[in-house]
Amino acid sequence: MNHTDIFAHRAQGMKASEIRELLKLLDQPDIISFAGGIPDPKYFPRAAFAEAMTVALDEATAGVALQYAASEGYVPLREWIADHMKTLGVSCDIDNIMVTAGSQQALDYLGKLFLDKDDTALVEWPTYLGALGAFNAYEPQFDRLNAGENRDPDAVAKQAQAAGGRAKFSYLSPDFANPTGKTLTKAERLAVLAQAEALGIAVIEDGAYQSLRYEGDAIPSILALEMADKGDIDACRTIYCGSFSKTLAPGLRVGWVVAAKPVISQIVLLKQAADLQTATINQIAVNHVARAVFDDHVVTLREVYGTRLNAMLNSLQAHMPEGITWTSPEGGMFVWLTLPAAMDGKDLLEQALAQKVAFVPGAAFYADGDTKNTIRLNFSMANEATIGTGIARLAEVIRTAMAR
Ligand code: PMP
């Protein structure tokens, strides 16, 4: 039988990316890869997790750790998250918090909750590829969210209507976005809120990298800005997605959503239908480790990754030819590089792999896939010396391509 004939319409739009095929070549020895988007495993708080798992599996507590649990999430972990959100200017109680299997799951649920076919999601251009993938399953249209541009809300609403639905939410990552590394100013964040207010839509704030700031002063999250205005989380349109993946460990798949209670109650129903709950023992372990080491651990990560970011920016400055520009992030894991207009990041990747250096071509981060002359460079995985060698190699590849 040919199952593809009976796949649902939404599944037919899902494609494996050609880039994945190219990136399989990363297993070659001596390749320097700026392609990943993952934390350096050397800095996982392994000892704290070993202790947490031992405690969780103690005879007295194993019955809880290995048992089913509430879909909302493990209460002591939600209490830690509530305290953490308070330090970010958001006071809420645990009924405003649901634990998810990574923030990726939250993006899926929020797409499922809000998007009918042909409704419009406003996203940054470029935006997080995984968000486009999560939302795409619900067959939406995408429009540009540009915080600096102040587009007329009526024009946005009309365009959404012409596309066959209505605008439902803006999705963005205001701190050290994946892929650009950019951070929105306070004024830009307020503009996103004002636009959402005018359109009557939600704001999905992706805070995956918020704790990883290496320079400059923290800017309040969009949810914190809205809270400062409205004073009550249940009156807020912003839905905040958090994650332990970038700070503690992605493999345990623990993230969270903070939102008004009606949103939380509804995504709890979605979670019950999808996977019942996030793994109990993982939530218990993350709670233990967060309480034991979170603040100190984040200080370590800021030092390590901040040094790597500087190494990358200095190497780019030293080696890149005229005509190449890049972002100067204050945190996160990525630098975004713009090539001359006629150059395609995908072709460049093929040439770069031959010289044993890798990155992710930028086109996949655009909802329309139309902009080809950008690439994403990750700096969290390699040490400073390797970053220097890799950027020098990449600059040579770009110089050769420009000379063609
Ligand atoms: N949001 C952004 C911006 C990301 O970069 C990632 C991970 N690449 C995620 C969400 C998902 O992370 P997780 O599900 O591990 O929390």
Q: Is the pLDDT of residue 147 over 80?
A: no
Q: Contact 120/140 with Cβ under 8 angstroms? A: yes
Distance in angstroms (rounded) separating the CA atoms of residues 84 and 252: 19
**Pick from 43, 72, 74, 400: which is nearest to 245 by CA?**
43
With the most atoms of ligand 1 within 8 angstroms of its CB, the residue from 110, 128, 132, 182 to mutate is 128
Q: Is the CB of 108 under 6 A from ligand 1?
A: no
Q: Is the CB of 103 under 6 A from ligand 1?
A: yes
Per-residue confidence (pLDDT) for residue 338, from 0 to 100? 98
Q: Contact 88/72 with Cβ under 8 angstroms? A: no
Distance in angstroms (rounded) separating the CA atoms of residues 137 and 152: 28
Q: Is the pLDDT of residue 334 over 90?
A: yes
Residues 386 and 344 in one domain: yes
Residues 268 and 328 in one domain: no
More confident residue, 150 or 117: 117
Look at residues 244, 263, 292 and tell me which one is the last residue of a structural domain.
Answer: 292
Rounded to the nearest integer, the mean pLDDT of the chain is 95
Distance in angstroms (rounded) separating the CA atoms of residues 169 and 203: 5
Q: Is the CB of 173 under 6 A from ligand 1?
A: yes
Beta strands in 316-356 (DSSP E): 325-326, 334-338
Which residue bears the tokens 């967060």? Answer: 290
Q: Is the CB of 179 under 6 A from ligand 1?
A: no
Query: Two tokens at 295?
Result: 């603040």
Q: Is residue 127 part of a domain?
A: yes
Residues 98 and 166 in one domain: yes
**Pick from 208, 129, 204: which is nearest to 176 by CA?**
208
Per-residue confidence (pLDDT) for residue 181, from 0 to 100? 98
Q: Is residue 53 part of a domain?
A: no
Residues 110 and 242 in one domain: yes
- The CATH number linked to 347 is 3.90.1150.10
Length, in residues, of the chain: 404
Query: Two tokens at 155?
Result: 């024009």
Q: Is the peptide bond before 41 cis (omega within 30 degrees of 0)?
A: no
Residues 35 and 73 in one domain: no
Residues 102 and 223 in one domain: yes
pLDDT (mean) for 236-253:
98
Look at residues 292, 308, 337 and tell me which one is the last residue of a structural domain.
Answer: 292
Q: Which atom of ligand 1 is nearest to the CA of 255?
A: 16
Per-residue confidence (pLDDT) for residue 28, from 0 to 100? 78
pLDDT (mean) for 3-7:
92
The pLDDT > 90 percentage for the chain reads 91
Look at residues 292, 310, 339 and tell me which one is the last residue of a structural domain.
Answer: 292
Distance in angstroms (rounded) separating the CA atoms of residues 294 and 297: 5
Residues 127 and 262 in one domain: yes
Q: Is the pLDDT of residue 148 over 80?
A: no
Residues 287 and 207 in one domain: yes
Q: How far is CA 141 from CA 114, 123, 144, 308, in A?
A: 13, 10, 10, 37
- The CATH number linked to 101 is 3.40.640.10
Question: For 220-229, what is each residue's pLDDT tens digit?
Answer: 999 999 999 9
pLDDT (mean) for 71-75:
98
Q: Is residue 179 part of a domain?
A: yes
Q: Is the pLDDT of residue 21 over 80?
A: no
Q: Tell me the pTM.
A: 0.97
Q: Is the CB of 345 under 6 A from ligand 1?
A: no
With the most atoms of ligand 1 within 8 angstroms of its CB, the residue from 104, 107, 175 to mutate is 104
Q: Rounded to the nearest whole angstrom, what is the distance from the C-alpha of residue 136 to the centroid of ligand 1?
A: 16
What domain range includes position 37? 3-45+295-403
Distance in angstroms (rounded) separating the CA atoms of residues 120 and 153: 13
The partner residues of 285 in beta bridges, in order of sequence, read none
Q: Is the pLDDT of residue 301 over 70?
A: yes
Q: Which residues contact 15 (CB under 8 A, 6 or more apart)?
A: none
pLDDT (mean) for 176-202:
97
Residues 275 and 307 in one domain: no
Question: For 47-63, what is each residue's pLDDT tens digit?
Answer: 999 999 999 999 999 99
Per-residue confidence (pLDDT) for residue 13, from 0 to 100? 77
Domains: count for the chain: 2
Q: Is residue 347 part of a domain?
A: yes
pLDDT (mean) for 316-345:
98
pLDDT confidence tier of residue 86, bands split at 50, 70 and 90: very high
pLDDT confidence tier of residue 18, bands split at 50, 70 and 90: low
Question: For 384-400, what is each residue's pLDDT tens digit?
Answer: 999 999 999 999 999 99
With the most atoms of ligand 1 within 8 angstroms of its CB, the residue from 246, 334, 379 to mutate is 246
Q: Is residue 185 part of a domain?
A: yes
How many other C-beta atoms are found inside a 10 Å radius of the C-beta of residue 293?
18
